[in-house]
Amino acid sequence: DQQVKQNSPSLSVQEGRISILNCDYTNSMFDYFLWYKKYPAEGPTFLISISSIKDKNEDGRFTVFLNKSAKHLSLHIVPSQPGDSAVYFCAASALTGTASKLTFGTGTRLQVTL
């Protein structure tokens, strides 16, 4: 039962254009969503997050949008740069006690071409 889904395994975008990565979830108990960037053989690097009480959060070139009614979130990267090429994971959490367990999507491999 995949509670967090990233339906696009890969995405190719030209440098300077917008990259849009999508994520869907099924568990309405999730109250926080995060995006991580990951290179092969490295741990994920935190990019940006959003609380379920918000619908948008922006940090530099990265913006995350949340549509709670559709149980959908997206990460926009603009302008895209070659260094953005990596695998992007969407993650969701439901705070339990003092720690939150993260449920990860399957990842989307972004390739930014020159």
Partner 1 sequence: GAVVSQHPSWVICKSGTSVKIECRSLDFQATTMFWYRQFPKQSLMLMATSNEGSKATYEQGVEKDKFLINHASLTLSTLTVTSAHPEDSSFYICSAGKSYEETQYFGPGTRLLVL
Paired residues of 21 in beta bridges: 75
> Which is nearer to partner 1, 42 or 69 (by Cβ)?
42
C-alpha span between 33 and 104 (Å, rounded): 10
**Is residue 22 classed exposed, middle or buried when 0-12, 13-18 and 19+ CB atoms within 10 A define those classes?**
middle
In whole angstroms, the minimum distance from the beta carbon of 26 to partner 1 comes to 15
**Tokens coding 37:** 């960037």
Query: Which parts of this chain interact with partner 1 (CB under 8 A)?
Result: 32, 34, 36, 41-46, 49, 51, 89, 93, 95, 98-107
Residue 85 CB, shortest distance to partner 1, in Å, is 16
CB nearer partner 1, residue 3 or residue 74:
3
By beta-carbon proximity to partner 1, the closer residue of 14 and 27 is 27
CA distance 28 to 20: 23
